[in-house]
Structure 1
């Protein structure tokens, strides 16, 4: 018989029940905030939350309460687009996209033919994710199936909710990365072994149109048609040189997005990384099919790819999420992603509020991945995946927080000044999976 353990945590609680809107204050009913709150866990789920003074009388007299006053708890951060196999090439000298792939990415990914290397990097990547407060991500492996076996095994050991997939690529890459006729068969086997197993899900993963033949993309689309519970992740319209290449490779397609549409890859569980160089027609087609763009601000700045247009997406109703895109991204931290997103917004004249940022990093990203009934909020029955944030983790951040008079100011200071040192603890599946070393 399994005994469900109760855990009680006292702290400031912050969560978003819905989109807070574009104003300087969140829309009524969107923000859940308890300045002195109690988070009550039963096993790996949230049982209740509320004001400490109101909820604590219902606890047993001898109930042990973890006292984290002075800290704040949010839902675990979610990363919608990241390459775990590129962890070791972060901060490689910046080239534009296609040169960067050839000079750094492809040689690095060839190393994942070695299973021991894939195991080591899977665990190192998850350690860093949890250190940064990220509890769920949608992850690219390499084209080697063992890269996904290793990653999912590491996630299962830690009881994490993760999406991942083996890269499909059968042309225009080094021979050691091409999967040829075996790519779809390997994907089918991985889906059978891992999709829906505990808290894991499979994302069908053609790298991008230039590295997959039409036949391979059509076969990937068939997988999605046969199982609507699968996810799809790939890249779209990141770099102007990439657009020119796609036009040469697919002269019969009206535009880049049409290449994916013709293969049946555009749907409500489809995530297209970047989406910088889109016109409004393409945005509307994505919106109509319920697909989303993963906005990767630090990567876009690092590679000089361009500035994502949030206002155009909002006006048309195209969904987008926030992502690190490691290894071209320069920060594993959700705080760092939001800081870069704010800077991109400033360059475009599209200011990003802290309300929008932290909603996006939690509930918004969960919604983009169709996981919003499980994660992204502090709410009863949701997975107990959350971060404990120390707003006084560095002397500078502490000084700034001391001068803040509102919650919005404090959240904005965190968005701009915090890093992984501010993550005091990361909980996933009702267990503390990372605790910060003393600083």
Structure 2
């Protein structure tokens, strides 16, 4: 496999343009689309109306981006919906189904404390299949494979959508698939149910938990992180995927926890031949130049590296750095840079950045620091406000990074 695959960052005037992110960044067989606010691209202002109107505008912006790169909405493999009010989910669903009529992507829905631009009620991001690849890869009519099992909860989503060398799973709530109801018990029981649902989905497609490359864990109480980590250790006793813990203002069905996963798919999707690709290796990496954590700093599989959520910790002391939001943002990005460089990449190989802030008003200060780290084409980006971050940090950042050399045996 060529080791000079090119990252392609693009923007269209038919969707809102930002000076701190690219609308879409394609690398190899995926397009990473920045979270879209309900902005009119002509005015740059939040549209007038309620949550239905705003959800429609977010999805219209995504559709415009998708069509600008010669794709269609059915190429979406994953959607993440961020709401100001979890009770708006039914209204969003009414709009959502008008954009996906024949096929439903995998999906994550979470309420957060704040969104960029105070009048926004909803923000939506997307991950898109990219069968043509990026240069110098030859275009290939790869097939998207959407699957469900009766052994995991069903909803307004597909449980798993495989494309090329990744399976993208719908976020799992602590729901008993037999009853469709929340399991009884506290945070540990709920976390175990989420992970059991993930395990059931993976086993239904002949995969195992060790094929997970990244988990994002949404918690309504950040103090539950330690208990959830204990449960995760039982499901990942030896290899631990990259991980980000995000505080949710609320979750569907009043859940305490929801778990999102990205999963390796060594067998690929047709016309890729399983015998050619099934030996692809997951490469987990840690470096002494980033803060110690009970999970992998980065996990590479095929043409992507997934970097765990980085707190503003000094890697020498594992303590929060002194200073305000600018100092903390710089430390988060320095930690990501150290991780990326430890696997012989550069920070401009980043295709997607996710930022959580305890005060959304800090965003301008974050952007000042952020712009000093990227010299080339800007990554796609999602920013949300949260009520709390582990260790009382003001900011947390994770990243998805291109991996042009692939993982063995490529």
Larger Rg: 1
TM-score range (shorter-chain normalised) is: 0.3 to 0.5
Give TM-score scaled by structure 1 length: 0.32
TM-score (norm 2): 0.34
